[in-house]
Structure 1
Amino acid sequence: MSAARFLCVGTHHKTGTVWLRRTLHRIMERQGIPLMQINRAKRIADLPEHGPQIVVNWSSGYPPEVFALPEARFIHVIRDPRDVLLSGARYHEKAPLGNENFLKKQRPEWGGLNYKDYLKSLETPQEKLLFEMENKHASTLFEMLAWPYGHPSAVELRYEDLMEDHECRQFRSALERCAIQGLDIDGAVQAFWDSSLFGGLKKEGERPNRIVNHVTSGTGAEAQWRTKMPRSVARRYAARYGSALAALGYAEDDSWVDLCPEDEALAEAQEAVAAK
């Protein structure tokens, strides 16, 4: 293998993109390593001939030509799709239109409303989740499945594991495996911790609203579907995306559906919380 110079980091919508973006920008600022985004093969010509380079793609849709670069190493982050659904539906009701271009697009089948306003117009949590499931979530899940798993130059990480790893061992291990020349790994791990909800952003006053609103509960806790996904939605999800969950290693079968709360019980619990 050629010496590694290009640290390519790929995420997906609602899988830790804000966290990794802040991390990589801190690395750029502190270590002087340039950062660029590559969505098309023609951008390869802009890569430097010498020295390290950070290369991002926030849908993990790197062109095949990037994967073929002998100097490229990849870190790929996914998240339990069921939690992606919950986080996405919540975020898309509140996100500023400038944050995501797809939220602004008006469509006739939505009565001329844009994505955000149509989602907000739906009356029940179940309707909102089903709408999200068939729209933005579907494209995000397709992107996750399209990644070339098993690529010899790539390290696979899961958002929920990173959130539980307060010592940042997994992120450090990924960087060590990538072995990017010119990258200070200790400094990069510090940037990762500084950008985390359990580290540098732990104090509420230090967490910008856009970070708090970018996760379902404001904590990024794992397996939120166990307490927040109505069972009626879970059944639909399993029928539609059960094979995708299995392919990504998040569920062997559909038995997880029975772990989700019944719709009425969930509604009562949410009403009790709101009444406090």
Structure 2
Amino acid sequence: MNFNVVVATHHKTGTVWMATVFKAITRQLGAAYVDFWAHYGRLERELTSPFVLLNHDSTFLQHADILRRRDVRILHVIRDPRDVLISAMHYHKTSSESWLHEAAPGKGNVSYQQRLNALATPYEQYVFELENATSSTIDGMLEWQYGSETCLEVRYEELWQDRSMALWSDILDFLGFDERERELCRSCFWEHSLFGEAGRANRRHARSGEAAQWKREFTPELARAFVYHFPDALQVLGYETDERWIEELEKAAKPRVDGMARDP
């Protein structure tokens, strides 16, 4: 490894995927794998070169200096916020993560998961999620400091489509792995990817890894609620240039008579 590696993700942007891949890589190469939040109070002791440091929400707080180190290269992964919302809502309905089951102060001692599951319709559940946990995830993607020469920005969707591992090879080159190491890293990526070896195994964590789920799940009503809460998020992150995607959803939702869409 010519550089130490920082992997910065966000909730439901491939965090578990990247963690699994890079844990396998560090085992193969004899490098240290460090979970940012698990070792937050003692990072200085844990970051012994060579290392891979993974931060699941890309917030570095008092340790932001790590991102400016000359011996570090960064991989930052984002995902279409609409798919983040879909994945997070379904995950939070059934996950055993402890915070989902803690009584929320001022909420009648009802947990996040109980409040989410008590809502009657998918629309209400998505809006609740959008206004709560997923709101901070989208904010985190928007607030990331883009443009660093030592950081490679990658979309989850690009990784998901990378069956040839061409993008993954470019990532490995940017992160400073040598030729021998890159071969090992490619094997680890394929073995632990949802479209590779892991796709044939039981995946308890991942409901669905495919991209653009929002095209099936979003209604025009949900799309308008999303834009109300995050009016320019899709444009800032480069997923849309305008709001024509809502118009397409509205067209698809129109009732049809004799094979023709009925005008309102």
Structure 1 residue 41: Cα displacement:
8.2
CA distance in 1, matches of 2:131, 2:120: 17
Could you list the per-position Cα deviations for residues 36-59 of structure 1 after superposition, in whole angstroms to 9, with x for gaps in the alignment? 1335586235322xx421111111
Is 1:19 the counterpart of 2:4 in the alignment? no
Corresponding residue of 1:190: 187
In the superposition, relative to structure 1, how do residues 8 and 25 fare at CA in structure 2: closer, same or farther (>3 Å)? same
Corresponding residue of 1:209: 204
Structure 1 residue 109: Cα displacement:
4.6
Is 1:150 the counterpart of 2:147 in the alignment? yes
SS at match of 2:154: strand
SS at match of 2:87: helix
SS at match of 1:242: coil
Percent identical among aligned pairs is 30
Deviates more, 1:252-261 or 1:53-62: 252-261
Is 1:55 the counterpart of 2:53 in the alignment? yes
The AA in structure 1 aligned to 2:203 is P
Could you list the per-position Cα deviations for residues 16-74 of structure 1 after superposition, in whole angstroms to 9, with x for gaps in the alignment? 011111101111222211111335586235322xx421111111123321112110100
Corresponding residue of 1:234: 223
Could you list the per-position Cα deviations for residues 219-238 of structure 1 after superposition, in whole angstroms to 9, with x for gaps in the alignment? x2211111111211110111
CA contact (8 A) 2:7 2:55 kept: yes
TM-score by length of 2: 0.87
Could you list the per-position Cα deviations for residues 73-108 of structure 1 after superposition, in whole angstroms to 9, with x for gaps in the alignment? 000111000000011111110112xx3x43123224
Number of corresponding residues: 251
In the superposition, relative to structure 1, how do residues 244 and 92 fare at CA in structure 2: closer, same or farther (>3 Å)? same
Corresponding residue of 1:271: none
Instruction: Describe how 1:25-174 pairs up with structure 2 within 5 A.
Output: 25-39=23-37, 40=40, 43-48=43-48, 51-62=49-60, 63-96=63-96, 99=97, 101-174=98-171
Structure 2 alignment gaps of length 5 or more: 256-264
TM-score by length of 1: 0.84
Is 1:5 the counterpart of 2:30 in the alignment? no
The AA in structure 2 aligned to 1:125 is P
The AA in structure 1 aligned to 2:113 is K
Aligned Cα root-mean-square deviation (Å) = 2.3
